[in-house]
Amino acid sequence: MSEIIDALNQLEKEKNISKEVIMDAIEKSLVSACEKDFGKDAVIDVSMDRITGDISVFQKKLVVSEVENDAAEISLTKALAMDKNAKPGDEISIEVRSKEFGRIAAQKARSIIVQAIKEGERDAVFEQFACKEKDIITGVVQRYVGNNLSISLDERTDTVLNENEQVAGETYRIGERIKLYVVEVKKTNKGFRILVSRTHPELVKRLFEKEVSEVADGTVEIKSIAREAGSRSKIAVWSNDENVDPVGACVGLNGTRVNNIVDDLKGEKIDIITWDEDPAVFIENALSPSKVVSVKVDVDKKSASVIVPDYQLSLAIGKKGQNACLAARLTGYKIDIKSVSQAKELGMEFDYDDETDTYNEDYDGDYDDGNYSDGDYDDGEYDGDYEE
């Protein structure tokens, strides 16, 4: 029966299915086949030699003086013909020859083996992707299914990028390769489901881990991320090596590293700022590119009062409040932003010499305040679907 072992070895190599799993399935299928022929009361013992592939099948029967159940009992007379020391209460093992299996039993055995192979393949694929949960994978866009996208992950595995996990405004071409964050890999009655996302903040973190070696090896840590998918992300970074600039490492020479990530995110802008254990400094950094005059923090209330130059107010708040809201999400603080003039009117104390301050005319003017003049900004304005 060595050809069975050869076949199972080939199956394990080509299909990535455990040989042990298939052998167990064969043994169980033969038990089922015997039960079909001899009845469910029959006690069947099947063993398959793991080296030679030889299969032994035995039916166990109880020795009794008078037989009431042919499937589970054997008369003392017949038992003595097999074992001269047999007596009532003993258990006799009777070998079942393969020719004794009927056509239906053989078909049932084959169907169970085929099913085991399918389940083994499915489990192998599940394990392959389960280890990628909370990580990124690359998929190929196959087709639109309504507003959802069918994505091919490999030759035998597809998933669906749901509309609510797509970035608003992004367009996808058939055959295009895109990066996806694996939110969850979950078993279902029909197999398993891979939930992927393009909007998850962790997608940005994983892209930096893949692109920036200092992040991958732990030299540079990404302390927090705030993201408005498709528009802008802010990430706070910190270096565990005083000789390594965390922002510079993430940006890369001539911006190559961050630009590669921006390309993967289809043009989403990324602000990289330095994390600081001092909340005031962290909040000031988080409001970049705006200049900050003063930051006063209430640690207990997780709130901060920020004063910025008059000409920087719109920059600090950002387009539709985006910069301020992302800063609030990044730091975890509620941020109240006032201009210098507003602060003076309210009698707030701060140090600022407007005569020595000059406007940075090199700024590209991406931000405007719209209908915002000042106000409180916190992460509560976001739906909070994702957590660290």
N-terminal to C-terminal alpha carbon distance within the chain = 54
SS3 content of the chain, % helix, strand, coil (to 5): 40, 30, 35
Tokens read off for 348: 């707030």
Q: How far apart are CA 330 and CA 226, in angstroms?
A: 5
Nearest of 306, 231, 238, 322 to residue 272 by alpha carbon: 238
Q: How far apart are CA 74 and CA 369, in angstroms?
A: 93
Q: How far apart are CA 304 and CA 296, in angstroms?
A: 6
3-state DSSP call for residue 277? coil
Please answer whether residues 176 and 154 qualify as being in contact, where contact means their C-beta atoms are separated by less than 8 angstroms: no
Domains and CATH numbers, the chain: 2-128 (3.30.1480.10), 136-197 (2.40.50.140), 200-268 (3.30.300.20), 276-388 (3.30.300.20)
CA 299 from centroid of its chain's CA atoms: 34
DSSP state of 381: G
Task: Flag residues of the chain having pLDDT under 70.
Answer: 1-2, 15, 98-110, 112-113, 351-388
Please answer whether residues 37 and 101 qualify as being in contact, where contact means their C-beta atoms are separated by less than 8 angstroms: yes
Q: What is the pLDDT of residue 33?
A: 76
The 10 Å CB-count burial string (b at 16+, else e) for 90-103 is eebeeebeeeebee
Q: What is the pLDDT of residue 316?
A: 94
User: What is the Rg, in whole angstroms, of the alpha carbon atoms belonging to the chain?
Assistant: 34
Q: Give helix 201-211 / helix 256-264 axis angle, nearest 10°.
A: 140
Please answer whether residues 167 and 130 qualify as being in contact, where contact means their C-beta atoms are separated by less than 8 angstroms: no
Q: How far apart are CA 259 and CA 335, in angstroms?
A: 30
Q: How far apart are CA 73 and CA 67, in angstroms?
A: 6
Tokens read off for 68: 């009431």
